Structure 1
């Protein structure tokens, strides 16, 4: 259940961040409401995850996967370009998250 909460927290943060751009500086009501609700959900779930997982694992997964998903979302929805170095960087983030969660002794499992 812990990793499900973490995954939902990451998705909530990504939705909130994408909506932050769409809110145009909080001048559009619906995207602004989505931002607030998304971040609230994300932080509530993160606090629950932190009862079980170490903060290093929780935050590195949340931030790293958030970066990857926001980058992909920006590419798809906002026509933001990705060059070779961006793709390599994303791959390294994913590899880092996998290494930390599966092989690191600090992961708590």
Structure 2
């Protein structure tokens, strides 16, 4: 169960870091740049711990899928970026794919 918590921390840290990339303005602003570097360091550290128990394919599918959706939501919420119907449908398919892998796949040990 602890591995799933670590995966959650990795996802949140990656989303914070990725969202901070825009604010860093190409790493020309100090504090947002430090947030990005620190966020990715935390994300990869916790992802590496997660991989001791959760298979890499499953962990990465969840990490990448949720990261895409959360970063798009933050872009909409904070940066005023628009999400059209196609992008919302595409993200729903990504989430559906993660659920299918997690719930139904026999090729990945849970």
Any stretches of 5+ residues in structure 1 without a counterpart?
Answer: none
SS at match of 1:105: coil
Q: Partner residue of 1:6?
A: 7
Give the total of aligned pairs: 109
Q: In 1, distance between residues paired with 2:105 and 2:12?
A: 24
Deviations 1:53-95 (A, max 9, x none): 1111011111111000001111111111111111100111111
Any stretches of 5+ residues in structure 2 without a counterpart?
Answer: none
Q: In 1, distance between residues paired with 2:5 and 2:72?
A: 22
Query: Superposition pairs for residues 86-105 of structure 1, below 5 Å?
Result: 86-105=87-106
Q: In 2, distance between residues paired with 1:48 and 1:102?
A: 22
Q: Partner residue of 2:55?
A: 54
Matched-pair contact (CA < 8 Å) for 1:16–1:38 = yes
Matched-pair contact (CA < 8 Å) for 1:54–1:106 = no
Under a length normalisation based on structure 2, what TM-score does the superposition of the two structures give?
0.95
Runs of 4+ in 1 over 3 A off after TM superposition: none
Under a length normalisation based on structure 1, what TM-score does the superposition of the two structures give?
0.96
Shift of residue 103, structure 1, vs aligned partner: 1.4
